[in-house]
Amino acid sequence: MSLTGLFLISFLVIHCIINATIFFDDGGKTFNKFAHFMGTNVIIRTMEIVLFAGLLLHIIDGLLIYFQNKKARPIQYVKENAAASSKWYSRSMAILGTLILLFLVMHMYHFWLRSRITGLTILDTHHIYDGHTYENMYGEMKFIFTNLWVVVIYVLGCISLFWHLLHGFKSAFQSLGFNHHKYKHAIAFSGDAFSIIISAIFASMPIAMYLGWIA
Ligand code: HEM
């Protein structure tokens, strides 16, 4: 669970950095070039299969742990004060993960399925930079984020991601044995900072496009 989680975290970092180029205020040129590279490079396309396999393993592992925990205590406590020893989001990883998965189904339909599988993007527009033709994924993104409901669902997805990471980041290191008191606090701080920063940057993308902050 921790290894697949950390692998997915490394994907989120790359995905977030590449997507953040939409803020370069260059009409999407840098982002479109990156999207083209990510969609055509053989190594990246192979890594895409590894990514989906990692995601699947993470989900299967999560479900196994969830049902193991349920089986371990078939009869619930009469009086339980779970809040005394754990945070609500630590006890809600399965539901938070499910919300992220629901968001991902919509997200894959919006971008990945259309640009990487069917090739049928909504706008089907292209830009020519330095003599090469690039699919206008930036324009596609802007169009998709003109719908307020889509923006709301994306922001809710990012909020679920925030809570999921807030527990998951620290927990992954703990499961791998990195819980020595010397660096425990540094890991906890990095986990909190990472969860806030990555979720806020992701959420700012649909919001900025919807509100027209980026042209
Ligand atoms: C909220 C802001 C986000 C935006 C604007 C965004 C945008 C995109 C775009 C444009 C693509 C397709 C790239 C292409 O086909 O060329 C993509 C792919 C993808 N996104 Fe996102 N994304 C966001 C957040 C997320 C989050 C939070 C996750 C995971 C929890 C995620 C997971 C993925 C995955 C798994 C793919 C497919 C991977 C691949 O094909 O390499 N995205 N995203």
Q: pLDDT tier at 36 (50, 70, 90 boundaries)?
A: very high
User: Which ligand 1 atom minimizes the distance to the CA of 158?
Assistant: 27
Question: What residues form DSSP beta bridges with 132?
Answer: 129
pLDDT for the residue 99: 98
Q: Give the binding-site residues of ligand 1, using a 6 Å CB cut-off.
A: 15, 19, 35, 38-39, 48, 51, 100, 104, 107, 111-112, 115-116, 137, 141, 154, 158, 161, 202, 205-206
In the predicted structure, residue 48 carries a pLDDT above the cut 90? yes
Distance from residue 122's CA to the centre of ligand 1 (Å): 16
Distance from residue 15's CA to the centre of ligand 1 (Å): 7
Phi, psi of 157 (to 5 degrees): -60, -40
For the record, the structure tokens of 45 come out as 């396309």
pLDDT for the residue 190: 97
Identify whether the C-beta of residue 135 lies closer than 8 Å to the C-beta of residue 156. Answer: no
As a whole number of angstroms, the distance between CA 163 and CA 129 comes to 40
Per-chain mean pLDDT for the chain: 95
pLDDT for the residue 119: 87
Mind listing the pLDDT tens digit for each residue in 78-127? 777 888 888 999 999 999 999 999 999 999 999 999 999 998 899 989 99
Q: pLDDT tier at 77 (50, 70, 90 boundaries)?
A: confident
In the predicted structure, residue 76 carries a pLDDT above the cut 90? no
Closest to 103 measured CA to CA, from 159, 65, 48, 141? 159
Could you tell me the pTM of the whole model? 0.94
